Amino acid sequence: MTFARPIVQILFRSGSPRFGRRGGFAVVAYAFTVTMIGTTLPTPLYPIYRSEFGFSELMVTVIFATYAVGVIAALLLFGHLSDQIGRRRVLLAGLALSALSAVVFLVADGLWLLLVGRILSGLSAGIFTGTATATLADLVPRSSAGRATVVATSANIGGLGCGPLMAGLLAQFAVAPLRLPFGVDLALVIPAIVVVWFIPEPVQAEGRVRLRPQRLRVPPQARPAFVRAGLAAFAGFAVLGLFTAVAPDFLGEVLGIDDHAIVGLVVFAVFAASTAGQTALVAVFRAGPLVIGCVGLIAGMGLLALGLALPSLVLVIAGAVVAGLGQGLSFRTGLAAVNQAAPPRQRAEVASSFFVVAYVAISVPVVACGLITQLRGVQVAGLILAAMVAVLASTVLGLLARKSPAAR
């Protein structure tokens, strides 16, 4: 240990950051990505957990839903914390929670530790999402704000997609499937903690901590836009929850596929498509993007339902891709419409309300899907949830049809 002491002293002897703004931008993007990777690692492992610990398909959805509880709690309680104590400290707290979640999964020997690990994971994601997005925007010139948005979206949704892919590959082709993915996760998070320590602090911290829950309120003038965007977001995030929580059951029980790598690939496909929808398709479909996004959700759910009914892996993957594209496009467009409709002084409240709707959608329909699975089977549950998403997206199309083209 004596040889390491001089290195530690060199690293920490100065309080000044070792990275400039460009380096800090890259560091935050990396930390954002690895934090999101950790939140979706368990997805292809749920069948192994079920076999190991003996719980039901319904309990799988409850374990998944506890993640959303952590995210919502963090969004409401810590949404403005980085304005008070600085971006860097909050990022470090989020990374610490991510590392702690990985440790809990590493030692998990029963259901209650899985629940604790998911809550910690949700807290880390809720703390990190808003703070990292704001930090990326702070570290670039105003002329490059669009670049910061694209990188934040890619790190967020791309990381969510890479988690199941990585865990699925490791579970299928390596040893210790319930341990190794989280060991690799720790190996990614710990360097992130070290380098984030040395990023520049982009904001002048207030110094005082006032932990007051973020109010959820939508003023009257923003409600029409919020209803349309909120319904679309609910439908889209229900799709993400559906694939993230229940994809292993779809593939295993309906299609007879128990390959963990394929499960990870299917979940990766929906998140990769969402990333493309939020970045590339927004520029392509400048006219009526919310309409196109909702049509994509309906078409994707139709392909998924057909894939479950036949059954067909190709159609299930096609449904994941098309629905992911629709989710990304409708979510990005809906959030922009809500921000534009909200009065500037109430924008944070409206945005928080919008994200709460989204994360309720990622949990409640999934638990309902688990309950239906217990009663009628996973195929019926998948068909019912796909129909629900299609109905919600169709409702948005009906509301948009009453508005002018500019409102679409």
Tokens, residue 91: 């990022």
Tokens, residue 219: 């003023």
Residue 141 φ/ψ, nearest 5 degrees: -60, 160
Provide the CATH topology of domain 17-205: Growth Hormone; Chain: A; (1.20.1250)
- Please return the burial class of 394, using the count of CB atoms within 10 Å of its CB with bins 0-12, 13-18 and 19+: middle
**For residue 221, what is the DSSP state?**
G
The C-alpha angle with vertex 396 and arms to 392 and 399, in degrees rounded to 5, equals: 135
| C-beta separation of 106 from 45 below 8 A | no
Q: Is the peptide bond before 6 cis (omega within 30 degrees of 0)?
A: no
The yes-or-no verdict on residue 80 having pLDDT over 80 is no
pLDDT at 2: 45
- How many Å apart are CA 278 and CA 400, to the nearest integer? 20
Cα dist. 42→132, 170, 260, 264 in Å?
Answer: 23, 12, 11, 10
**Cα within 13 Å of Cα(404), Cβ side:** 1
The yes-or-no verdict on residue 72 having pLDDT over 60 is yes
The helix or strand, by DSSP H or E, that contains position 110, with its residue range, turns out to be none
- How many Å apart are CA 242 and CA 369, to the nearest integer? 8
Options 3.90.1150.10, 2.40.110.10, 1.20.1250.20, 3.40.50.280; which CATH number does 215-408 get?
1.20.1250.20
Q: For the chain, what are the domain ranges?
A: 17-205, 215-408
Mean pLDDT calculated for residue range 337-361? 86
The yes-or-no verdict on residue 286 having pLDDT over 80 is no
DSSP codes of every residue in 219-235: -GGGHHHHHHHHHHHHH
Cα dist. 365→51, 307, 317, 361, 389 in Å?
Answer: 24, 20, 21, 6, 10
| C-beta separation of 249 from 373 below 8 A | yes
Over residues 204-263, the pLDDT tens digits come to 776 677 777 777 889 999 999 999 999 999 999 999 999 999 899 999 999 999 999 999
- Please return the burial class of 13, using the count of CB atoms within 10 Å of its CB with bins 0-12, 13-18 and 19+: exposed
The C-alpha angle with vertex 234 and arms to 229 and 235, in degrees rounded to 5, equals: 100
- Please return the burial class of 203, using the count of CB atoms within 10 Å of its CB with bins 0-12, 13-18 and 19+: middle
User: Could you give the 3-state DSSP secondary structure of residue 267?
Assistant: helix
Nearest residue to 129 (alpha-carbon basis) of 182, 73, 62, 181: 73
Tokens, residue 82: 């980085």
> What residues contact residue 360 under an 8 Å CB cut-off, 6+ apart?
68, 72, 234
Amino acid identity at 61: T
- How many Å apart are CA 323 and CA 273, to the nearest integer? 8
Over residues 7-21, the pLDDT tens digits come to 344 344 444 557 888
| C-beta separation of 150 from 277 below 8 A | no
Over residues 83-116, the pLDDT tens digits come to 888 899 999 999 999 999 999 999 999 999 999 9
Over residues 292-344, the pLDDT tens digits come to 999 999 999 999 999 999 999 999 999 999 999 999 999 989 988 888 888 87
Task: Please give the mean pLDDT across all residues of the chain.
Answer: 89
The C-alpha angle with vertex 355 and arms to 353 and 361, in degrees rounded to 5, equals: 105
pLDDT confidence bin for 200, thresholds 50/70/90: very high
- Please return the burial class of 109, using the count of CB atoms within 10 Å of its CB with bins 0-12, 13-18 and 19+: exposed
